[in-house]
Structures are given as C-alpha cells and as structure tokens.
Structure 1
Amino acid sequence: MKNIGITALGMYVPERVVRNEDFEGRMGIEPGWIEARTGMRERRFSAPQEFASDLGVKAVQDMLARDPQALDGVDQVIYATCTPDAIFPSTAALVAGQVGLTGAGAFDLSTACSGFVYGLSMARGQVLGGVARKVLVIGGEVLSKAIDQDARDTAILFGDGAGCAVVGEVPDGYGMQDFVLGADSAGGPALSIGHVATQFPNGLPLPAGASMNGREVFKFAVRVLGDSGTEVLEKTGLSNNDVDWLIPHQANVRIIQAAAERFGIPMEKTVVNLAKYGNTSAATVPLALHEAVNDGRVKDGQQLLFVAFGGGLSWAACTMKWWAGAPSLKPAAEAQA
C-alpha cells in the first residue's frame, strides 16, 4: 500500500488582532475572566472584504513562498469550513481558480471544527484509490462574520484563520496511519449555526445565528476527544507512550487539559496555541501543526496524534508518522539557513 502523508504546509491569519480587553470593557466582563476560563488572550478578525476564500489563497501563497513546487501534481482541492463564501460556487473552487489549479476537482467539507482531520482522511482515500495524485486540503474560517459580536457566550471564543496541507505519497515508514471519524446529530442543538432550515428534524427550533450550550459541549468534547484518540491509537497498534505530540482542536484550554489527562499525555507534549488565535474551528489543527513544525518542536519521524470535535456534533482522530523531507515541513530557522 502507498504511504500517504503531508508533503507541504502553509498558514495565514488576518492582520487585525482582537484582545480580551476589547470584549471586557464593552461587555462588562471582569478583567482576566476570559483567559482564566478559556486560555485565550487574543484572536484575529478578517477585514470587511476578506472571506474564507481569501484566507485560503493566502495560506497557499505562504506555502508556495517556502516551496514553489508544492502544488505540482495537485488535482483535487478540499476546503473544510463552516463559513464558506457561498453555498455555491464552493470555496474550494474559488481558491483553486486563484492558485493555478483551475480544472482540479474541488469541494467544500462541512464538519465544523473536525473538518481538517476529516479532509485529511478524504484526501488519503482519494490518493490511495487512484482518484487523485495529490490533494490540497484547507481548513479555514471567518467566524467573526458569522458570530453575533454582542453575544457574550460565543463572541469571545472565535477567531479567523486558515491552514493548508498538500497530501500525497511519502517515503516508506512515514505518513497517515489510521483514522476515526464520527458524528451524532442528537447533539446538534448544543452547537449550531443555522442557515436555511428553521428547525431540526426532531422539531427543535434551529436558531438563525450561532447557538451553543457550553456545558453540554464541554462534556461532549472531553468524552469524544478521549474516546476517539484512544480508539485510533488502538487501531494503529500504539499506546499513549508512543505519542511524541498531541495536536488537538483548540477550543478551550480546560477541554485540552482534560483530554490530555484522559490520554495520559502530559501538556508538555501537547501543542496549544489558542492564546493567540482563539477557536478558529476547522483552522485550529493546521495552524497548531504549522506552528509546531515551524518552531522545530515537531521533527522528522515523530509520532503525531490529532484529535478534534465540532458541530454536528462531530469528531475525528488521526495518527501520523511525520515526514519532514520537503521545504515547508522544516523549521523556519533550518529553511532559512
């Protein structure tokens, strides 16, 4: 069987920085409360005319600046997002047309915060099945445009950003090993952003904007992150002691701490960057991976474990042996040397 892994990485976050103080003063929130409860200090907001496709294009451009040949052979584009530019055309197609991939297959994937890991699974399957040679997978969001900025329970949590990866063949011994994907619509009312429908299939109302039951989401997240991560390690034939880095969805530092404790993986081996970016939904995993690769934490041959949860309610986990043989997969200091 072919070995399929990540062959290139890129990322982009908007220029505008929104700090906790910007919410605390306006909403009457006690100073320090947001960071204490979430671990977040700031997040990025996109410009008024900057949308998911724009963020995706800039993430790809960042990748190409490090590796001009990164898109060679790419014949499919997957954009994981819950804030697409439009219902159609797909945001993936809009990005493809701007980065020289016109004619490539392109589609959007909607599993919210689990989307990037879902996208890696889809890409691996397409390459293994011979449908594609390489696949560009993007996770990106402009949640600042979808969230009511006066809603205290959600506005403080979410930010904008995008990360991308090219998925293709890698040398023997490297690449993606196993996946666990799941969803349970019964939990949908706990975390949703409405659009066309006005109610769920069970008759419960579907709010037009973002809606979240924080307590229920917290309990769900800790459970499924632990369960899915444990399951994918067992499928791969690994234990928690084999994991060099846990790279989780960046939703809340308390959720990450609880999940890491459940795995028995110390926080010192867990990548956390939500203090800078907040919850960027489908972008959190690629942003965290890119940062850990860029600063030299993630090294060639290390064992990675990705875990994520999101609206749907959905979850995803992946094991991967990291290959660092391409220019954008090396630490920034090494690449500049």
Structure 2
Amino acid sequence: MVENAEFEATLDTTDEWIRSRSGIERRHFAEEGETTSSMATAAAKAALSDAGLVADDIDAIIVATSTADLTFPSAATMVQAQLEMTRGFAFDVQAVCAGFVYALCNANALIASGQADRVMVIGAETFSRIMDWTDRSTCVLFGDGAGALILEAQTGAGTSDDRGILATDLNSDGRYKDLLYVDGGVSTQSTGHLRMQGNQVFRHAVEKLAKTATTALERAGLGAEDVDWIVPHQANIRIIQGTAKKMGLSLDNVVVTVQDHGNTSAASIPLALSVGKERGQIKPGDLIVTEAIGGGLAWGAVVLRW
C-alpha cells in the first residue's frame, strides 16, 4: 500500500494536492515478482470460493487487461493454467479502463448464444509498470489490482426483474487516441509510458458516462429512479460525482473505492463490486449500473441485477 505522502519525497506534490484533485488517498502496487496473471489468479480463486465452485466448473475465462505479463500468450490462458483448469477456453479483452465492461458484454454474449454456461470475468492490471515516475499529473493516480466475478446461465422471465445482465451499451471513438495512451508498444519496439491529457479526459468522461448509463437503462426498460447502486470505474472522485449528478442520483447511491485503490483501470469495477458486497451495500436483487471510460476512447455501461 502506497500513501499519497510517499510521493512527496520525489515529486512536487502533496497529499492535499492529490486528494483535492482526485479523491485518492492511497493505492497498491504489485510486489517484485507479482504479475497481472498472478493477481488475476488470486482474484479467480477468491471468486470460485465465494461461488462454491471449482475451476473445471467454468467454461470460459475472460481477462480484461492492458498490462498482460507477455505479448502472448494471453493472461487469461496463464490464469487457466494456474487454476489447473483442464477444459474450456480463455482470452483477453483490451479496452483499457473500459475493459471490464467490454469483458462483461462478451461474457453475456457467450452465454446468450449458448457457447458457455459459466464465464469467469476478471479485471487485472499492473499499471505501476508503465508509469512515468517524473510526471506528477499521472503517476500519483494509478494503482495495481485484480477482481473477478462469475456469470452463470439461468432461465428467467425475460423481464427487468431477472437476475444477471439486463442490458449493455458499448462505444468507442479512435479520434481521441491522443487524450490517453501509452507511447510505446510491440510494433514500435519500445515499452513506453502512460500519457494523459487529464482535463480533456475529464470533459469527455462525465458526459459520455452519464449518456451510456442512461442508454443501457433505457434498453432494459428502466430509469435512474430504479437504480440501487452505481458501481463506476474508479478514476477520479470528481468524475464519479459529476456522473451521478448528471444522472440525477445521490452519491449515497454510488459505491466509491477510489480513495483506497486509485485508478486500477480494468480492475476497478470488480474491486468496487467486491468491496460493495463486503460492506453490505450490494445485496441480492439490487439493480446495479456499472460504467467506465478509458483510452481509445472506449466507454460503455452494463445494467445488471445482483
């Protein structure tokens, strides 16, 4: 765990400066030797235990990540091996901070099409490995982590009272690539660091997140008044507050963990779901809207009943 004050020795920043601009108080960094796949595996084991399942009960694993251990194979197949899962299939989804939403949509489609009955969806990131530690505008914002959930096929009535994923909405616009990206990659033969135009990302985030959440709710035949919890991508408290306000919802209806995790990209939503469940906020039957925006720009929302 890394508190804000630890950055004061190397950067022109303070705990108060970081808190006031982001709401972040601390974050966690992977230890030496710890990787995206090892954290994803730990999250997967916790999800299996919580569900009372074993690895071979799962038909597919989807890992949402932008920081896989290797160029290939996928982090998901590495998790599959570490779980000693001898059946099914596994693959990664890369949509940066929107990755978990994209992965949920893919998992839902696999189940709806009959390709799988149980899909484990994992968000896992080691963003500390792509930070420019001289850039105070970015390196204080991000953290590492992993979270997982399991979706299972069930027969429902086809109404908004059903449990599980009720509606989805995905979007991207590659014209905004320069607002949030890593300036390196395999084909450019460099590792690169994360670069972000924070003010521009903020401007797009509130508008696009509120719109995608509303669209997904409309597709489910629901409105903001039906929502028990927003579980948003945990990037910045001001974005979280702005999105809730634009949707006409109180912050009392939002699961907020950004203060303890920082921005963990694709891992932030499953981590927040886990914390919300542990706190006793999220209960069976609750209607949840989860939304995220990340590099691409890519953004989207999922409406689900817990």
TM over 0.5: yes
Q: Structure 1: how far apart are the matches of 2:285 and 2:185?
A: 43
C-alpha contact 2:210 2:246 (8 A) present in aligned 1: yes
Alignment correspondent of 2:53: 69
Contact 2:131 2:138 in 1 (8 A): yes
- 2:48 corresponds to 1:78: no
The match for 1:195 is 185
Report the Cα offset of residue 162 of structure 1: 0.3
| Shift in alpha-carbon separation, 1:165–1:95, aligned structure 2, 3 A | same
Choose from 199, 204, 217 the match for 1:220: 204
Matches within 5 A, 1:114-263: 114-170=98-154, 172=156, 173-193=162-182, 194-198=184-188, 208-263=192-247
> TM-score with structure 1 length normalisation?
0.85
1:245-290 C-alpha deviation (Å, 9 max, x unpaired): 0111000000110010000010000010010010000000000011
- For 2:269, the equivalent position in structure 1 comes to 285
Give the whole-Å Cα distance in 1 for the aligned partners of 2:225 and 2:176: 32
TM-superposed CA distance for 1:70, in Å, is 5.0
Please say if residues 167 and 219 of structure 2, whose CA atoms lie closer than 8 Å, have aligned partners that are also in contact.
yes
2:208 is paired with a residue whose SS is: helix
| 2:81 paired residue number | 97
Q: What is the Cα deviation at residue 68 of structure 1?
A: 3.9
**Structure-1 separation of matches of 2:273 and 2:251:** 15
- Cα distance in 1 for partners of 2:221, 2:44 equals 34
Q: Secondary structure at the match of 1:153?
A: coil
Q: The residue matched to 2:48 in structure 1 has which SS?
A: helix
Instruction: Tell me how far apart the structure 2 counterparts of residues 151 and 215 of structure 1 sit (CA, whole Å).
Output: 15
The alpha-carbon distance between structure 1 residues 105 and 145, as it changes in their structure 2 partners (threshold 3 A), is same
Whole-angstrom distance in 2 between the partners of 1:49 and 1:80:
20
Q: CA deviation digits over 1:125-162, x for unaligned, max 9?
A: 11111111211111000000111222211110000000
Q: Is the 8 A contact 1:70 1:166 kept in 2?
A: no
Q: Which runs of 5 or more structure 2 residues have no equivalent in the other structure? A: 157-161
Separation of aligned partners in 2, 1:66 and 1:86: 29
1:49 aligned to 2:16? Answer: no
Matched AA of 2:53: Q
Identity rate, percent = 38
Shift of 1:197: 4.7
Q: Deviations over 1:159-179 (max 9, x none)?
A: 000001111124632111110
Q: How far, CA to CA, are the matches of 2:100 and 2:57 in structure 1?
A: 21
Q: How does 1:8-47 map to 2 (within 5 A)?
A: 17-47=1-31
CA distance in 2, matches of 1:174, 1:66: 18
Aligned residue in 1 for 2:159: none
Which AA in structure 2 matches 1:151?
Answer: D
Give 3-state SS (helix, strand or coil) of 1:312's partner: coil
Contact 1:73 1:133 in 2 (8 A): no
RMSD: 1.7
The answer as to whether partners of 2:130 and 2:192 remain within 8 angstroms in 1 is no
TM-score by length of 2: 0.94
Please list every run of 5 or more consecutive structure 1 residues that lacks an aligned counterpart in the other structure: 1-16, 199-205, 323-337
Give 1:93 deviation, angstroms: 0.2
Asked whether the equivalents of residues 80 and 109 of structure 1 are also in contact (C-alpha less than 8 Å), the reply is: yes
Question: Is residue 90 of structure 2 the alignment partner of residue 106 of structure 1?
Answer: yes
The AA in structure 1 aligned to 2:88 is A
Q: CA deviation at 1:103?
A: 3.9
CA distance in 2, matches of 1:154, 1:163: 23
| One-letter code aligned to 1:264 | G
Segment drifting more, 65-74 vs 265-274: 65-74
